């Protein structure tokens, strides 16, 4: 499969043919940066790990040039950092037993600009046609990282190019640069991450350029998962030790509902929930 950017990278960890690696994929993760998949779409990775009837395919849309860097990576140029991050992402795909790992190498600026996203949309459409996954994990439109939102928009555009019969059965929005602890419970998907805790730790630790480079994502994401499991329900014991919260965005694939209206509804419910809570304790005079 050929992608639009000359420096794109397609890797199949078990050395099967590209066509087979695509067609066997049942769970697809689409992230903006190297490490996004491991931090936000671990549920999909765990669903497929050591299975022969389920396969997780990974897509990273941008080149990783803008990452923070200190310590041993402080003097690395953007080109050197991009090379390191491609290798790290390939390593993660081996550890996680991914069906394939596609790195599309688009600059982050492309994801942020609707007029420039067309090539990214083209690449994602090609991947979706080749894989036809059952479930897709990606960023959510309530995230605060502009590149993440841009990748979400590109993916949704690519999905809507497909006939409905070829679209995924479920589209899941994941928490990264804004946790979902605030999300009203009626919208929350609770995804347990208890299986293979050693795998999660191994995947987190792959991204040395980020961890040593000044961002302890490995500790932060583990802390969020533990906190989610405990703080979901104040009146019940924990059903899981590690949980990620997610948002079911499936209706955006099959209805005319706009992303704006989808988000506005969620925020309206959240606002009402807060106001009702305040009103029950401090009634208006």
Tokens 């897709």 correspond to what residue?
Answer: 136
* pLDDT score, position 211: 86
Q: By the 8 A CB rule, do 6 and 15 touch?
A: no
* pLDDT score, position 285: 55
Quote the tokens at residue 33. 């940066």
* pLDDT score, position 274: 96
Other CB atoms closer than 10 Å to residue 149's CB: what's the count? 20
- Which helix (DSSP H) or strand (DSSP E) does residue 18 occupy? helix 18-23
* pLDDT score, position 3: 97
- Helix locations, the chain, DSSP H: 18-23, 36-40, 42-48, 78-95, 108-112, 118-131, 146-161, 197-205, 208-211, 217-231, 251-254, 259-281
Per-residue confidence in pLDDT tens, the chain, 285 aa = 899 999 999 999 999 999 999 999 999 999 999 999 999 999 999 999 999 999 999 999 999 887 777 788 888 998 999 999 999 999 999 999 999 999 999 999 999 999 999 999 999 999 999 999 999 999 999 999 999 999 999 999 999 999 999 999 999 999 999 999 999 999 999 999 999 999 999 999 999 888 887 788 999 999 999 999 999 988 888 889 999 999 999 999 999 999 999 999 999 999 999 999 998 877 765
Distance CA 239, CA 203 (A): 24
pTM (2 d.p.): 0.95
């Amino acid at each position: 499969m050929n992608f639009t950017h000359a420096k794109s990278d397609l890797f199949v960890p078990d050395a099967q043919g590209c066509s087979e690696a695509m067609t066997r994929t049942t769970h697809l993760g689409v992230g903006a940066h190297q490490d996004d998949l491991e931090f936000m779409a671990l549920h999909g990775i765990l669903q497929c790990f050591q299975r022969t009837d389920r396969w997780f395919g990974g897509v990273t849309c941008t080149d990783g040039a803008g990452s923070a860097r200190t310590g041993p990576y402080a003097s690395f140029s953007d080109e050197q950092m991009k090379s390191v991050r491609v290798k790290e992402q390939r390593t993660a795909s081996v550890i996680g037993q991914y069906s394939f790992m596609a790195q599309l190498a688009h600059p982050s600026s492309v994801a942020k600009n609707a007029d420039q996203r067309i090539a990214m949309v083209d690449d994602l459409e090609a991947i979706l046609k080749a894989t036809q996954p059952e479930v897709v994990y990606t960023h959510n439109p309530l995230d605060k990282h502009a590149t993440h939102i841009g990748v979400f928009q590109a993916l949704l555009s690519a999905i809507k190019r497909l006939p409905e019969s070829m679209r995924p059965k479920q589209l899941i929005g994941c928490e990264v640069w804004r946790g979902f602890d605030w999300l009203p419970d009626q919208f929350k998907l609770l995804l347990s991450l208890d299986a293979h805790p050693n795998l999660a730790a191994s995947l987190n630790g792959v991204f040395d350029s980020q961890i040593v480079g000044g961002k302890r994502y490995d500790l932060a994401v583990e802390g969020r998962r533990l906190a989610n499991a405990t703080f979901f329900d104040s009146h019940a014991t924990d059903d899981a030790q590690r949980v990620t919260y997610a948002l079911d965005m499936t209706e955006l694939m099959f209805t005319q509902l706009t992303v704006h209206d989808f988000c506005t509804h969620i925020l309206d419910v959240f606002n009402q929930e807060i106001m009702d809570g305040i009103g029950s304790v401090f009634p208006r005079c």
